[in-house]
């Protein structure tokens, strides 16, 4: 399935792996790229030098293209933005903010820039600033989310911009990929499915929590404070919801979430940790290699789209 995105990025399949904090490290990024998609290293809150090392490690595992996601709320975003240029990274995605201040530097260095957006307004603005494509991310996604669903956001972004659009949020199999293409997307970005891949280094408890999740196990914390984060229900989300309903401030609740994602991902504390995952968690039933996932999903999508 050739699209403007597969051409732009020089990849075989129109599948991009999300730049998930603590999860999108070099093993996962390299595995997705080796399987014909685009792997991403998630900068998250990491210092520039850690991201540099991740890039170098990924290069040892693949000679295929991979990218870096710059999380714009990170205190190290400026450093990470420079490191990607110094390391010769060819594609950057950004999340949780507006990457305007880095666009000139990246474009001058020949980096393809793909901001993740949750609104038509930001998609338009990014196109004006020279973005090569945008990821339109609906609130079915895990982690930090916007307000609109993928079903409503993607076609509105497709109508508003001329650059190619990548759909994200709520896509977990070939049916989701086919649906995203029907909405006008030219690729998809997927996170949660890859969290349970064989190559993913997250704690076994984290993988099992996703594999066992039911459709109704997804929760959003922090909506009332304007910091909505989607994760799987557990002791942490229940405590958060209770205190949020009591009107506690964002600052008062921060102790519940600080370091909580790392605790869940690395230590397997899926009770008091934050288990970020999208709403498709309920659809995921087994661990597979990234290659098995990608080939199975693409075969299903191509069949549905009549492109076999
Ligand atoms: O960034 C994400 N997902 C993330 S980032 C993250 S790390 C984190 N952990 C805890 C709390 C907060 C962050 C976990 N998941 N997805 C991309 C995304 N970007 N979703 C929504 C947005 C977004 C929202 C508002 C982008 C821009 C924006 O407004 C920018 C502006 O200035 O208009």
pLDDT tens profile 262-281: 999 999 999 999 999 999 99
CA of 69 relative to ligand 1 center, distance in Å:
11
Residue 145 sits in the same domain as residue 263: no
Nearest CA, atom 10, ligand 1 = 144
Nearest CA, atom 28, ligand 1 = 97
Residue 179 sits in the same domain as residue 219: no
Higher pLDDT, 250 or 304: 304
Q: The whole model's pTM is what? A: 0.97
Residue 105 sits in the same domain as residue 218: no
| Predicted pLDDT of residue 88 | 98
Average pLDDT (133-137) is 99
CA of 223 relative to ligand 1 center, distance in Å:
13
Percent of the chain whose pLDDT exceeds 70 = 100
Q: Which residues line ligand 1 (CB under 6 A)?
A: 21, 44, 71, 73, 95-98, 116-118, 122, 137, 143-146, 229
Nearest CA, atom 15, ligand 1 = 143
23 found inside a domain: yes
Residue 48 sits in the same domain as residue 8: yes
281 found inside a domain: no
**Domain that residue 244 falls in:** 214-276
Residue 90 sits in the same domain as residue 167: yes
Residue 269 sits in the same domain as residue 295: no
108/103 Cα distance (integer angstroms): 8
Percent of the chain whose pLDDT exceeds 90 = 95
Q: What is the CATH number of the domain that holds 32?
A: 3.20.20.70
Residue 156 sits in the same domain as residue 230: no
| Predicted pLDDT of residue 11 | 98
164 found inside a domain: yes
CA of 145 relative to ligand 1 center, distance in Å:
6
What's the pLDDT band for 125 if we cut at 50, 70, 90? very high
Residue 50 sits in the same domain as residue 183: yes
Mean pLDDT of the chain: 97
| Inter-CA distances, 161 with 29, 59, 101, Å | 28, 33, 21
Average pLDDT (59-82) is 98
Nearest CA, atom 14, ligand 1 = 143
255 found inside a domain: yes
Residue 300 sits in the same domain as residue 264: no
Q: Taking 70 as the threshold, does the pLDDT of residue 119 lie above it?
A: yes
208 found inside a domain: no
CA of 3 relative to ligand 1 center, distance in Å:
26
Q: Taking 70 as the threshold, does the pLDDT of residue 308 lie above it?
A: no
207 found inside a domain: no
CA of 97 relative to ligand 1 center, distance in Å:
6
249 found inside a domain: yes
Residue 151 sits in the same domain as residue 92: yes
122, 136 Cβ separation under 8 angstroms: no
Q: Which long-range contacts (CB under 8 A, 24 or more apart) does 208-211 make?
A: 209/234, 209/270, 209/275, 209/277, 210/275, 210/277, 210/281, 210/284, 211/284, 211/285, 211/286, 211/287
206 found inside a domain: no
Residue 237 sits in the same domain as residue 115: no
CA of 98 relative to ligand 1 center, distance in Å:
9
Nearest CA, atom 13, ligand 1 = 144
Residue 118 sits in the same domain as residue 182: yes
Looking at the structure of the chain, the number of domains it has is: 2
């Amino acid at each position: 399935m050739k699209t403007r995105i597969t051409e732009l990025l020089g990849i075989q399949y129109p599948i991009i792996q999300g730049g998930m904090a603590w999860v999108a490290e070099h093993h996962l990024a390299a595995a997705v790229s080796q399987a014909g998609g685009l792997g991403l290293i998630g900068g998250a809150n990491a210092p520039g030098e850690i991201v540099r090392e991740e890039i170098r490690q990924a290069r040892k595992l693949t000679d295929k293209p991979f990218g870096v996601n710059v999380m714009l709320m990170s205190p190290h975003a400026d450093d990470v933005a420079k490191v990607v240029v110094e390391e010769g990274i060819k594609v950057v995605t950004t999340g949780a903010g507006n990457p305007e201040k880095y666009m000139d530097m990246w474009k001058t260095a020949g980096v393809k820039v793909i901001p993740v957006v949750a609104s038509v307004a930001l998609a338009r603005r990014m196109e004006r600033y020279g973005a090569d494509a945008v990821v339109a991310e609906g609130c079915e996604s895990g982690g930090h989310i916007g307000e609109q669903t993928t079903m409503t956001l993607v076609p509105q972004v497709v109508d508003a911009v001329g650059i190619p659009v990548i759909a994200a949020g709520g896509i977990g199999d070939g049916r989701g990929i086919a649906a995203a293409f029907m909405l006008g997307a030219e690729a998809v970005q997927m996170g949660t499915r890859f969290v349970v891949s064989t190559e993913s280094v997250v704690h076994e408890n984290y993988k099992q929590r996703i594999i066992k999740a039911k459709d109704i196990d997804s929760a959003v914390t922090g909506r009332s404070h304007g910091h909505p984060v989607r994760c799987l229900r557990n002791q942490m989300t229940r405590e958060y919801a209770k205190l949020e309903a009591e009107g506690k401030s964002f600052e008062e609740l921060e102790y519940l979430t600080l370091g909580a994602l790392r605790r869940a991902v690395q230590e397997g504390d899926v009770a008091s940790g934050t288990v970020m995952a999208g709403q498709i968690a309920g659809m995921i039933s087994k661990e597979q290699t990234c290659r098995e996932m990608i080939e199975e999903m693409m075969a299903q999508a191509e069949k549905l789209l009549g492109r076999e």
